[in-house]
Chains A and B, each alone.
Chain A
Amino acid sequence: MISILTNNWSSLMEGVKYTIESSLIALIGSLILGVIFAMLEISPNKTVHIIGRTYVEIFRNIPLLVVAMFFYIVMPQFIPGLDGFTAGTIGLTIYTSAFIAETVRAGIESVDVGQMEAARSNGMTYLQSMRFIVLPQAIKIVVPPLGNQFVNLVKNSSVLAFLAGFDLMYQGNLIASTTFKTTDTYLAVGLLYLIMTMPLSYLMRYLEKRWSKNPQA
């Protein structure tokens, strides 16, 4: 396995780079989209609620590979020059955002309704109440399940391998098919994924502990 790593170090690192890049973009994008759609879902306005709910239900219940393929195969007809990496990252973002929306929605709903009532009675608008009072409390409740989503996201980025996305899995497939050392190659790839995801798991556990001790930090 050592020889696989040393002989293919640069292409594996290239793969790691693309995997991290795609995951980071999707992480930020899906967090923003997820919070927005969570807000739509809990809106008192029926139409807005239905829009949020529909988005979440559609993208949560279609396989990631189908969503990603849609952006890779179908969308370039309308947006020329959409490459595999971009298409895959968009698919990953949208797919993950549906799960994040569900997680954030549950977090918001677990904040005592009295907090919102107090903020509204204090003269704040709905959005101000959300921003200053409800969301900061919801985020802390939501950190452990969100952490799981982010670890999943890094793993799910391997879908890029199907779209010529140059990620770690893609490089692994390439190395395996040229060297025929399949066992060693996929062991090495698995190890590299572990190195990326384990620190993320531990970071989330650390934040969870810290925030449970001090709700204001």
Chain B
Amino acid sequence: MSMIEFHDVNKYYGKFHALKNINLTVERGEVVSIIGPSGSGKSTLLRTINGLEHISSGQLLVDNFDLADAKTDMNKIRKNVGMVFQHFNLYANKTIMENITLGPIRVLKVSKAEAEERANKLLGLVGLQDQANKLPSMLSGGQKQRIAIARALAMKPKAILFDEPTSALDPEMIGDVLDVMKKVADQGMTMIVVTHEMGFAKEVGDRLVFMADGEIREESNHPKEFFQNPQDPRAKEFLSKIIHAD
């Protein structure tokens, strides 16, 4: 079974049609980048996958659970699907160590010692071993985002959703976060990444999805080719603007 399947999914906010007939399948271990102009529904699409937004119609299967089914326990899905936010959303009242261990201790019922041992390994992975006892407010944006990735990994999820993980960062911080994301991708994690980092989409992503006006306008299994030769007129327009900005 695939990790995530959208079948004719629609999402409305009142009269606004935010997602239009979305059909998308994400296989296990795949890294899918979602790009597109602001307001195209990328983040909304991502947030439906762990139930932060509800779909209005269609079918959405995550790890074989049907999200539209009222009997589906969202907590079970969220346990297996991590999320990294644009604005980090680290727990402001908890230390870095507690940020990483709270989920494993409270949700997975892992012992504190075991959770901390694993957290230390993850802090090593993201290169922030010496920050364990600090509060989030004492860290830079790039450091916060790396901690947020460690927090997601601590749950040993089957997939991680990234919602514009580098958009709120100073330019010199972006590289560190992308390096960590690349490491996670190399370990075989299923990742869905809404991003404006075309380099990441081109080099790390296995697949690319271009969205505009709530629709998937183009999908490519060869991101590099997409960037050289987009088919959809909106994609052409979007890329021409981005490339000029580069």
Total A-B pairs in contact (CB under 8 Å)? 68
The answer, yes or no, to whether B166 is at the interface (CB within 8 Å) is no
| Main secondary structure on A side of the interface with B | helix
The answer, yes or no, to whether A115 is at the interface (CB within 8 Å) is yes
Nearest Cβ on chain A to B191's Cβ, whole angstroms:
15
The answer, yes or no, to whether B93 is at the interface (CB within 8 Å) is yes
Task: Identify the interface centre among A114, A117, A121, A133: most chain B CB within 10 Å of its CB.
Answer: A121
Contacts of A137 in B (CB 8 A): 92-93
B137 touches A215 (CB 8 A): yes
Interface stretch, picked from A91-99, A123-131, A150-158, A171-179, is A123-131
Chain A residue with minimal CB distance to B137? A215
Task: Produce 1/0 per residue, B91-131, CB < 8 A to A.
Answer: 11111000000110011100000000000000000000000
Determine the distance from Cα of A118 to Cα of B137 in the docked complex, in whole angstroms. Answer: 16
The answer, yes or no, to whether A119 is at the interface (CB within 8 Å) is yes
The answer, yes or no, to whether B190 is at the interface (CB within 8 Å) is no
Contacts of B85 in A (CB 8 A): 114, 117-118
B106 touches A124 (CB 8 A): yes
Contact partner, B90, options A118, A128, A136, Cβ 8 Å:
A118
B83 touches A118 (CB 8 A): yes
Task: Produce 1/0 per residue, A131-144, CB < 8 A to B.
Answer: 01100110000000
Chain B residue with minimal CB distance to A111? B92
Task: Identify the interface centre among B74, B79, B93, B155: most chain A CB within 10 Å of its CB.
Answer: B93
Determine the distance from Cα of A204 to Cα of B245 in the docked complex, in whole angstroms. Answer: 53
Chain A interface residue count, CB cutoff 8 Å, equals 19
Determine the distance from Cα of A135 to Cα of B49 in the docked complex, in whole angstroms. Answer: 27
Determine the distance from Cα of A119 to Cα of B155 in the docked complex, in whole angstroms. Answer: 12
A121 touches B106 (CB 8 A): no
Determine the distance from Cα of A124 to Cα of B151 in the docked complex, in whole angstroms. Answer: 13
Nearest Cβ on chain B to A70's Cβ, whole angstroms:
40
Contacts of A112 in B (CB 8 A): 89, 92
The verdict on A117 contacting B91 (CB below 8 Å), with A128-B106, A215-B137 known, is no
Query: Which residues from chain A sit less than 8 Å from chain B, CB to CB?
Result: 112, 114-115, 117-125, 128, 132-133, 136-137, 215-216
